[in-house]
């Protein structure tokens, strides 16, 4: 959960609202010879497509059913 404080210019927002979808991406910031570059992973909504949804079913087993 976020604490509502700002760290290096970024707000640590939270807590997240229940029932909402959140998209997480990765970003990289690097500086060399006083040149700063940033790069972010591509974000899409493809994860919502039915062919990309995976459902895992876990069944509990006791030793007698192995």
Residue 66 domain-assigned (yes or no): no
Residue 65 domain-assigned (yes or no): no
Residue 64 has a pLDDT of: 54
DSSP string over 11-49: E---SPPTT-------EEEEEETTEEEEEE----SGGGS
Where does the pLDDT of residue 34 fall: very low under 50, low under 70, confident under 90, or very high at 90 and above?
Answer: very high
Asked if the bond preceding 15 is cis, omega within 30° of 0, the reply is yes
Distance of CA 6 to the CA centre of its chain: 19
Domain tally for the chain?
1
Residue 41 domain-assigned (yes or no): yes
Domain that includes residue 19, residue range: 6-59
Mean pLDDT along residues 25-52: 82
Calculate the dihedral angle through the C-alpha atoms of 11, 16, 17, 18, rounding to the nearest 10 degrees: 170
Residue 66 has a pLDDT of: 45
Residue 17 domain-assigned (yes or no): yes
Mean pLDDT along residues 39-66: 66
């Amino acid at each position: 959960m976020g604490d509502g404080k700002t760290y290096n210019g970024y707000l640590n927002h939270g807590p997240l609202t229940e029932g909402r979808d959140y998209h997480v991406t990765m970003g990289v910031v690097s500086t060399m010879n006083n040149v700063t570059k940033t790069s972010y992973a591509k974000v899409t909504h493809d994860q919502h497509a039915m062919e990309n949804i995976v459902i895992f079913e876990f069944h509990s087993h006791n030793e007698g059913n192995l």
